[in-house]
Amino acid sequence: MIRVVVADDEAPAREKLERWLADQPDMVVVGVAEDGLSAAQDIEQLRPDVAFLDVQMPLLSGLQVAGLLELSSAPLIVFVTAFDEHAVKAFDLNAVDYLLKPYDQDRLARTVQRVRERLHAKESGAKAVAIGRARASSCERLLVPDRERLQLIDAASIEWLEADDNYVHVHTRARSYLLRRTLQDLLSQLGDKHFVRIHKSTAVNINAIESLTPLFKGDYEIHLCSSRILRLSRRYREALFARMGQ
């Protein structure tokens, strides 16, 4: 069975799509969401094969949800929209398809067939996620796990990032979060506007730096506004100085 998450902020639209998908013999709707954050939560917890995302939703748009997903586990994506310009963006994101409201059962059937073909070819939603991130110069908010839920935090509240194999510790002044991501992947999502590497396994928010103290052999101590002290490797010194001087 093909596992499906449906996300739309309009109840009639959700119910229609859920009902028509139920008529497909190989599809089962495992999650229904009414906003972007709930959709991201369902995708993270339920690991569907495909997500039908309304483009315009509260908290996060369907396009933003796509850009915030993990590359390694992103489902195939079908965008649902009432606006042609958003449909074009959906194709730019390499979505499986888009459904332009109002659509009928024949149009949905063609989309479902495209989903089957992509799944048979063992395609994932990774390309949609990657291109979605590339379209934005930086990510202003980040999805992080908080116990059994996901929450959005402002990227500006992140002080530093610490790699731990294929995980990253995201440190804010108040607390830390653990993401199943690589540091490079996360930095590419956050963009280079505020964050810069200071070590092969560490990156810092430039706005969180209070002062620097020189050490031996070209290394520095970085003092953060929260009183945390990090080590700046000489390999990354020039890049940090150049960014701070901008």
Q: What are 209-233's pLDDT values in tens digits? A: 999 999 888 889 999 999 999 999 9
Nearest-CA neighbor of 78 among 51, 110, 105? 51
- Residue 68 confidence (pLDDT): 82
Q: Are residues 16 and 118 in the same domain?
A: yes
Q: How far lies 239's CA from each of 2, 139, 208, in Å? A: 47, 21, 16
* Cβ-contact 205, 194 below 8 angstroms: yes
Q: Are residues 130 and 34 in the same domain?
A: yes
- Residue 151 confidence (pLDDT): 85
Question: What single letter denotes the amino acid at residue 182?
Answer: T
- The contacts of residue 73 (CB under 8 Å, 6+ apart) are 47
Q: Are residues 193 and 89 in the same domain?
A: no
Q: What residues make up the domain containing 50?
A: 2-135
Max intra-chain CA distance, the chain: 70
Q: Are residues 17 and 116 in the same domain?
A: yes
Q: Are residues 179 and 99 in the same domain?
A: no
Domain of 105, CATH number, reads 3.40.50.2300
Q: Are residues 57 and 166 in the same domain?
A: no
Name the 3-class secondary structure at 27. Answer: strand
pTM: 0.75
118, 135, 152 - which closes a domain: 135
135, 170, 185 - which closes a domain: 135
Number of domains in the chain: 2
Q: Which residues, in sequence order, are bridge partners of residue 47?
A: none
Q: Are residues 97 and 161 in the same domain?
A: no
- Residue 142 confidence (pLDDT): 86
Across the range 144-165, mean pLDDT stands at 89
Q: Are residues 146 and 61 in the same domain?
A: no
Q: Which residues, in sequence order, are bridge partners of residue 77?
A: 51
Domain of 216, CATH number, reads 2.40.50.1020
135, 152, 182 - which closes a domain: 135
Q: Are residues 176 and 219 in the same domain?
A: yes
Q: What are 60-113's pLDDT values in tens digits? A: 888 888 888 887 788 999 999 888 777 777 677 777 888 899 999 999 999 999
Q: Are residues 116 and 220 in the same domain?
A: no
Q: Are residues 10 and 68 in the same domain?
A: yes
Pair type for strands 76-81 and 97-100? parallel
Rounded to whole angstroms, the Cα distance separating 70 from 74 reads: 6
Residue 173, token pair as written in the block: 């002044």
H/E stretch holding 115 reads helix 105-120
Q: Are residues 57 and 128 in the same domain?
A: yes
Sheet containing strand 167-172, strands side by side: 176-179, 167-172, 158-164, 202-205, 195-199
